[in-house]
A and B are shown apart, each in its own frame.
Chain A
Amino acid sequence: MLDLTYEAPKAKVIAGATGDWELVIGMEVHAQVATKAKLFSGASTEFGAEPNANVAFVDAGMPGMLPVINEGCIAQAVRTGLGIKAQINLRSAFDRKNYFYPDLPQGYQISQLFHPIVGEGEVTVEMGNGTARRVRIERIHLEQDAGKSIHDMDPHMSFVDLNRTGVALMEIVSRPDIRGPEEAAAYVVKLRQILRYLGTCDGNMQNGNLRADVNVSVCRPGDYEKFAATGDFGHLGTRCEIKNMNSMRFIQMAIDYEARRQIAILEDGGKVDQETRLYDPDKNETRSMRSKEEAHDYRYFPDPDLMPLEIEQAWVDDIASSLPELPDAKKARFMSAFGLTDYDASVLTAEVENAHYFEEVAQGRDGKTAANWVINELFGRLRKEGHDIDDCPVSPAQLGGIIDLIAKGEISGKIAKDLFEIVFTEGGDPAAIVETRGMKQVTDTSAIEAAVEQVIAENPAQVEKAKQNPKLAGWFVGQVMKLTGGKANPAAVNEIVAQKLGL
């Protein structure tokens, strides 16, 4: 693969009344593990089921029920760790995080505080213009999701849906390496891309399958570098945590609002309180959820129902050997193997399904042409229909067939677009369509000559005018194309018209 080298981007600076401020951001991304069954109960994880349909006795916290680890979830966490070049801990353990809430039936969440399954890794986040932020990952641990409390169905009662209770989450904890709202969103985009390539999380943010807690603080220019050199958080400002963000746009807006809020407090001579906040997109503001004093004492302790989790290096190696090509590598390869631009390679590798599609089309064909067709025609048409690549009516073989017909000179670029439309709406083999519908480009000069002679014979007045004004030759070309149903090779028509008119 190509080694992509980048400069670090500049930190976002916000000018305050008393001078400049910089942002320091760390994120905890909760990614739902793509598996059929929950982390400890075997109940289904299917989205959209009737409330409380996917609930095992364990999930409901029934007396005497015990958790049994789902090995598939462990494999997915390991796979994710390998995907971000992280250390895999062969021995990890589960802890209980205790708190009361109606959608937490056990009264505790099983998580991994003391010994997470994945240790340090990193994610490279490209920020354009040859810059990229290297975001270090501190850890990934497995934990149970909570259920859902519903407060708006009845004026007097709340309802609880436990379908989500016990679903496996990976909490991916970054270091405070992110330096601006755009970087934060780009980090989530990149992480999501990696997870989707790995197949360890579907990345569906709308359903809440990927959501982020964002820690924001502000500091003066130069302070971050001191922190980076010493590891002393004392150089940084007090952070606030914005909970449960599930939109890239809102992440940016919330960070921007929160940074400005903190700056305003500090410039007024106040002190930022460490607290948990919620973002309200309707008002574009963050609000205090609970202060440090109100923070829960989670009373973490090792879960005595579960033995420490021990995995074998050979098993990890097996998973490593089955890892797919990841976005950075794929992008580099697309650039080198197909001669694509950085931009086109980024577009084509953003979603793994798109990359696969492109690669099938480009196989044995000109890469740039394939990229143009996939990005401009195909993606454009799909967007118009509100489809994505999964329900694309044109197969890579069909699109490749169209490109082949152009390459062989059998159809013009213009006809190719008509052909694409037919294939898109009606389906069918492109070559056969060209044949049966007579769309083949006419390169036979005698046929073109006959058509030119016919047009000249039928339009003596125009001929005279054209002889005065050679620009009118274009009118004859148009008539010939009309007569031939657009199939005549345009270059040949031009040449023969000029010759017959004696221009």
Chain B
Amino acid sequence: MSDLNKLTIAAARDALRKREITAAELTEACINAVEGADALNAFVHKTPEIARAQAAAADTRLAAGGAPDLCGIPLGIKDLFCTKGVPSQAASRILEGFRPEYESTVSQQLFDAGAVMLGKLNMDEFAMGSSNETSCYGNAVNPWRRANDDAALTPGGSSGGSASAVAADLCLGATGTDTGGSIRQPAAFVGITGIKPTYGRCSRWGIVAFASSLDQAGPMTKDVRDTAIMLRAMAGHDPKDSTSAELAVPDFEAALTGDIRGKTIGIPKEYRMDGMPAEIEKLWADGTAMLKDAGAKIVDISLPHTKYALPAYYVIAPAEASSNLARYDGVRFGHRAKLAQGDGITEMYEKTRAEGFGHEVQRRVMVGTYVLSAGFYDAYYNRARRVRALIKRDFDLAFEAGVDAILTPATPSAAFGLGEMADADPVQMYLNDVFTVTVNLAGLPGVAVPTGLDAKGLPLGLQLIGRPWEEGDLLNFAYTLEQAAGFVSKPAKWW
């Protein structure tokens, strides 16, 4: 069998269980693919030796029978996850040389299920960014290009390396994290599926924190079924994370029946933004029609506080980040600036953090520090928290009124060119998150599914937002949409 790296997780699982292929062969195919894809800059640290050892162990387990779904499946791990003994830097210079003595709960669960780690994936520094351009490793590159145009495009962010690697078939799936859209936006930009689960579904233990009340890990995969399979292995209660939910993890794959008859899909009018490209309008309308054709009832709904979501998000997330990133001070690990004669602890902090943090991280730390300051706390942070409660209430009311899921665009546009936003106001970049941040603020599950191509041949995705803890139902809507859209396009290999 050739091109094993192009398999989906489900197909590889079945072939592995039938012993048609071995984990070692599959892993070797992926290692080769990774080796040949340096131009994508998706992997920032490769771990072929670990991968080969894990593959060998997986083959033993597979031979014994009864191995879990992910046994022998090669994955990429976002650099935000701490992986024991393997560089874990959150794509930041400040964590230079940091090799954790511990394994994040999510990656540990994946490895316990037999998954194989190919390496660490590129991302925006500390997951702050929408184009992967804030990475200390340089940006990852989108495997897609506009028709008849060699310009390099962003894979989105912050999980840009994960998106690029999965779309380019370097691995079968990847972990991502999503604080304001960091799984869903890049998934949409590269034509793959990614879910941000309900807040508390996956443990945050061992994942470098950006904004603790918003961060959530999730899978990024080639299709909805793979997302269901991988999410099941990542999810679950963790006593080491007080915010993780003590709930059983259902078999999400079993929920993929494709039957959504009698279900209600809400279309929120506030997501119809001024100046929205016609292509996005059409994509959304087409998706709505597909779900209707599949037997769902379509209702117009209102989520009236949507317009306040982005400003509230850009108060709360930086506020938490400013505190979460205080530990990067040069005292115990990572980068420490060289000090001049007479420099004291204050100079050590200032120089270390000035050298170690990139501009976007510095901007957010400063914004966050400002909004928490005495005298500004009520005007910004507390007000943003109240807005957050209202946004959550908007969703609660919609679900109480009988809506089962909400359909929106995933992004305001297709992938843009790298460097295109270099001189733009930072708010222009933040607007990438306009459809996704509400979901994080409300703690809900949201999934991005590719459903079409734009006029230049770039993938576009829609977002489905579900009820809390009902990722199974949500993924079934996504699956139905995926089946109806029949999106099968792949980027032409140029790298």
If the complex has contacts A66-B242, A102-B345, A306-B242, are A301 and B205 also in contact, measured as CB distance less than 8 A? no
CA distance A305 to B325 in the complex (A): 14
Say yes or no: A299-B205 contact (C-beta < 8 A), given A98-B326, A102-B331, A307-B243: no
Q: A96 to B319, alpha carbons, bound, how many Å?
A: 11
Contact pick for A60, options B208, B332, B372, CB 8 Å: B332
- Complex Cα gap A307–B199 (Å): 13
- Kindly state the separation between the CA atoms of A67 and B209 in the bound complex, as whole angstroms: 13
What's the nearest-Cβ distance from chain B to residue A55, in Å? 10
- Selecting from B93-101, B144-152, B219-227, the interface stretch reads B93-101
Q: Of B35-43, B266-274, B373-381, B484-492, which binds chain A?
A: B373-381
Distance of A287 from chain B, by nearest CB (Å): 20
> Are A64's CB and B82's CB within 8 A?
yes
Q: Is the interface of B mostly helix, strand, loop or mixed?
A: loop
Question: Contacting B327 at CB < 8 Å: which of A61, A306, A307?
Answer: A61
In the bound complex, what is the Cα–Cα distance between A304 and B322 (angstroms)?
13
Interface flag for A367 (CB, 8 Å): no
> Which of the candidate stretches A104-112, A269-277, A415-423 sits at the interface with the other chain?
A104-112
Chain A residues with CB under 8 A of B242: 66-69, 305-307
Cβ-defined contact, A64 with B326, below 8 A: no
Counting residue pairs across A and B whose Cβ atoms lie within 8 Å, the total is: 97
Contact B208 A61 (CB under 8 A): no
Q: Is A63 an interface residue (CB 8 A)?
A: yes
Closest to A149 in B: B345
A98 touches B102 (CB 8 A): no
Q: Does A62 count as interface, using CB distance less than 8 angstroms? A: yes
State whether A64 touches B104 (Cβ < 8 A): yes
- Min Cβ gap B21→A in Å is 34
- Set of chain A residues within 8 Å of B204, measured between Cβ atoms: 64, 66
A-side binding surface: helix, strand, loop or mixed?
Answer: loop
CB distance from B350 to the nearest CB of A (A): 10
Contact, CB under 8 Å: B372 / A62: no
Residues of chain A lying within 8 A (CB to CB) of residue B101: 57, 62
**Contacts known (A64-B82, A66-B242); A107 close to B329, Cβ less than 8 A:** yes
Contact B326 A66 (CB under 8 A): no
Partner of B377, one of A60, A100, A158, A301: A301
Inter-subunit contact A100/B102 (CB<8 Å): no
Give the shortest distance, in Å, between B253 (CB) and chain A (any CB).
Answer: 29
- Asked whether A107 lies within 8 Å of B205 as measured between CB atoms, the reply is no
- Tell me which residues across on chain B come within 8 A of A57, comparing CB atoms: 101-102
Q: Which of A64, A69, A102, A299 touches B208 (beta carbons < 8 Å)?
A: A64
Q: Shortest Cβ distance from B403 into chain A, in angstroms?
A: 28
Chain A proximity of B210: nearest CB distance (Å): 11
A-to-B contact residues, CB < 8 Å: 57, 60-69, 96, 98, 100, 102, 105-108, 158, 160, 297, 299-301, 304-307
Instruction: Jot down 26 A-B pairs with beta carbons below 8 A, ordered by A.
Output: A62-B100, A63-B100, A63-B209, A63-B327, A64-B204, A64-B206, A64-B209, A65-B205, A66-B241, A67-B242, A68-B240, A68-B242, A98-B326, A102-B345, A105-B327, A105-B331, A107-B323, A160-B331, A299-B377, A300-B372, A301-B323, A304-B213, A304-B243, A305-B212, A305-B242, A307-B243
Chain B contact residues, CB within 8 Å of chain A: 81-82, 88, 90, 95, 98, 100-102, 104, 204-209, 211-213, 239-243, 319-320, 322-323, 325-327, 329, 331-333, 345, 349, 369, 372-374, 377, 381
